[in-house]
Structure 1
Amino acid sequence: MARYRRKDEGLLTLALQAPWYFSAVFALAIFIGVFVWLPRTNVFGFYRAGIYGGIRPVALIALFIFSAIALYKFLQQLASERGGYTYAFEPKARPPWADLGRGATDDQRVEPTSQPTPGALADGHASAAEARSAIARPTEWSLTVLRDMEWKRFEDLCLAFYRAKGIRAESTPLGPDGGVDVRLYRDNADPQRCTVIVQCKAWGERSVGVKRIRELRGVMAHEGVDKGFFMAPGRYTEEARAFAAANHITLLDGRQFLAMLQRLPAEVSRNLLAAATAGDWSTPSCPSCGTKMVARESVRGAYWGCAVFPKCRQTLGMRECKT
């Protein structure tokens, strides 16, 4: 499960996260209150001139800042409607990858799926980002595909892979997962006993250190499971590999997972690729509500924010881009 971080809920940060009309209303309130109402009121009596003189410079600065934010967010929204990010709610229509991950029944297997066309996505009320992603989606598995995949789609792919292999697999619900993303049940004598726990980290090219592997070992001990899998599209440090080898943990990096996907029957492999890259498969999903996130700016830099803010306030850090 992707870990998320919270931002300080200051007024300026709130304005940068909220839609453009939040800042516009705030700027309008400053203008009316300070520059229209205050000069005409006698509430402060003799002290009115002094109070007005002290408030006016601060109000001018605040008016400029919030007006600038409102204009920037408005232009950003116009750009999103022509191909950028959007603040709209996700479509309620069932997405083509719904059967790939969470909410699937225990005995569900990956079924052959046809690749939707851009027109079909539009008919299903898919977002512009989904339509663009569907047009440019890859036609074969590669390390780039695995490393560009957002965290939830990567978890769903891992789940679907095990089901395609005929293994009973269950995913954990959204929210804190306790260090487990997928549970495997391979004990025929006791079908309800989890035999393997799987942790997934869609960290792109970033290497996984020993700390995460130790955490998985702790979860294994807590749940009484003797075997663990750690799946990541990047690599592992030597210390992580040594610890895993001594603690019944199998580390699967991007190259190994790619080879496993390519060794599947051709039709099954194509179906997994079509499902895993359907719609917008690279923009992160919200760890709390599952809605696609949007790129936002704050005083601390760029980050991913939930598209339904302020209803959901979860955020994610952005991957560092190599130059």
Structure 2
Amino acid sequence: MADDARTRTAGPSRPLLVLGFGLVALAGVMLLLSLALAGTESATLRSLGRPLRAPLALLVLLGVLLALVGHALRPRGQDQEPQGAGATTWLVGDSTDFVRSALAPDTGLASAHRGLRPPEPAWSSRVFRDIEWERFEAVCVRLFALAGLRAQDTGAAAGPIELWQSSGGPDRPVALLLCRHPAGLVGIDEVRAFRHQVAASGLRRGILATGGSFTPDAQRFASEQGIDALDGAGLLQRIGLRTPPQQSELLQLAYQGEYWRPTCVRCGLKMVESASGRGREPLWTCADAPRCRFTLPVHARD
């Protein structure tokens, strides 16, 4: 379900990098020591310095190879240092603390990086703009659970979710729920595709929820086809009908963890943000790139 997001760890890259740089540093120390011994007047000390120079080339070569392997094993999201003007800068943060999130200067991404300001103290449309798709889905699932409908994942990330009566209902799902993150308007093509999914599941009721809004033709089509088109205003109205403790629970669920960083729908990993100075639009890219090439656009949020 939506609460099972996983974060990527450094893996074996850090030990390899430390060992590689350590061997190079050791070679440097041995070189300095051998040069110091070679400059002494004692023949015995000079003879001790010569063997120290023998393994230097091997140590440096081995250290460089280990460092290169360690660097290659690092997820792309860990490369944080700018590479010069016009190069790609990776914006990452291992902490959920919004204060510690970092931005490269002059990238124009400050309004899009949701970790830069504290969460909203109460429910409003801004909450939907603050959170990523998986947090939005978690809120929708919990909201329907409070209304007596438990969710059962169909197995597809960011896909439809079956809603079942919590108790006393039929032994089958009663509706199909699809949560769409509020990144603009939901058009008629999305509603039509969801209608086909509802029909293929054999259910009569479908609920398409978004924190944004629907285009007029999408709203009309949904009404004609028996699809409940639940926009941001409708969601806020339903949330407002819950008790204050339940509203607080839903708000905490929305702002859980790195709520502002999207989750890759293919890998379940938190994504990393890239910005380019060459005229390309900034993107969210999977932390497992290039093995996973899933991307999302970075939407500016006020």
Matched, 1:216 2:194: yes
Matched, 1:244 2:250: no
Tell me the SS of whatever aligns to 2:176: strand
In the other structure, the counterpart of 1:296 is 274
How far residue 321 of structure 1 moved from its aligned partner, in angstroms, is 5.7
- Residues 87/259 of structure 1: CA separation in 2 closer, same or farther (3 Å cut): closer
In the other structure, the counterpart of 2:175 is 196
How far residue 217 of structure 1 moved from its aligned partner, in angstroms, is 1.0
Taking the TM superposition and a 5 Å limit, the aligned residue runs for 1:258-297 are 258-297=236-275
How far residue 189 of structure 1 moved from its aligned partner, in angstroms, is 5.1
How far residue 131 of structure 1 moved from its aligned partner, in angstroms, is 6.7
Alpha-carbon contact 1:87-1:308 (below 8 Å) kept? no
Q: Distance in 2 between matches of 1:262 and 1:139?
A: 14
In the other structure, the counterpart of 2:81 is 75
How far residue 128 of structure 1 moved from its aligned partner, in angstroms, is 4.7
How far residue 171 of structure 1 moved from its aligned partner, in angstroms, is 2.9
Q: Distance in 1 between matches of 2:125 and 2:174?
A: 29
| TM-score, length-scaled by structure 2 | 0.60
Taking the TM superposition and a 5 Å limit, the aligned residue runs for 1:76-115 are 76=82, 85-86=91-92
- Residues 321/159 of structure 1: CA separation in 2 closer, same or farther (3 Å cut): closer
Tell me the SS of whatever aligns to 2:284: strand
Q: Distance in 1 between matches of 2:204 and 2:99?
A: 40
Alpha-carbon contact 1:304-1:318 (below 8 Å) kept? yes
How far residue 150 of structure 1 moved from its aligned partner, in angstroms, is 0.7
CA-to-partner distance for each residue in 1:162-188, whole Å, 9 max, x for gaps? 1122212223435473xx1x2111394
CA-to-partner distance for each residue in 1:210-234, whole Å, 9 max, x for gaps? 1111111111111111011111111
Taking the TM superposition and a 5 Å limit, the aligned residue runs for 1:180-195 are 180=160, 182-186=161-165, 188=168, 190-191=170-171, 193-195=172-174
Taking the TM superposition and a 5 Å limit, the aligned residue runs for 1:1-323 are 75-76=81-82, 85-86=91-92, 126-129=95-98, 133=115, 136-175=118-157, 177=159, 180=160, 182-186=161-165, 188=168, 190-191=170-171, 193-204=172-183, 206-297=184-275, 300-319=280-299
Q: Which letter does structure 1 place at the counterpart of 2:140?
A: C
Q: Which letter does structure 2 place at the counterpart of 1:184?
A: L
Q: Distance in 1 between matches of 2:123 and 2:282?
A: 30
- Residues 139/173 of structure 1: CA separation in 2 closer, same or farther (3 Å cut): farther
Q: Distance in 2 between matches of 1:129 and 1:174?
A: 30
| TM-score, length-scaled by structure 1 | 0.56
Larger Rg over CA atoms = 2
How far residue 316 of structure 1 moved from its aligned partner, in angstroms, is 1.5
Q: Which letter does structure 2 place at the counterpart of 1:269?
A: Q
- Residues 160/76 of structure 1: CA separation in 2 closer, same or farther (3 Å cut): farther
How far residue 86 of structure 1 moved from its aligned partner, in angstroms, is 2.3
Tell me the SS of whatever aligns to 2:220: helix
Q: Provide the aligned length of Structure 1 versus Structure 2.
A: 210
CA-to-partner distance for each residue in 1:224-272, whole Å, 9 max, x for gaps? 1101111111111111111111111111111110111121011011011
Alpha-carbon contact 1:131-1:279 (below 8 Å) kept? no
How far residue 197 of structure 1 moved from its aligned partner, in angstroms, is 0.5
Q: Distance in 1 between matches of 2:164 and 2:249?
A: 23
| Structure of higher RCO (CA pairs closer than 8 Å, 6+ residues apart) | 1
Quote the sequence identity (%): 29
Q: Which letter does structure 2 place at the counterpart of 1:173?
A: G
Tell me the SS of whatever aligns to 1:203: coil
Which range is displaced more, 158-167 or 295-304? Answer: 295-304
Q: Distance in 2 between matches of 1:189 and 1:143?
A: 33
Alpha-carbon contact 2:80-2:92 (below 8 Å) kept? no
Could you tell me which runs of 5 or more consecutive residues in structure 1 were left unpaired when the two chains were aligned: 2-72, 78-83, 89-125
CA-to-partner distance for each residue in 1:133-188, whole Å, 9 max, x for gaps? 598122100001112221111111111111122212223435473xx1x2111394
Q: Distance in 2 between matches of 1:232 and 1:188?
A: 29
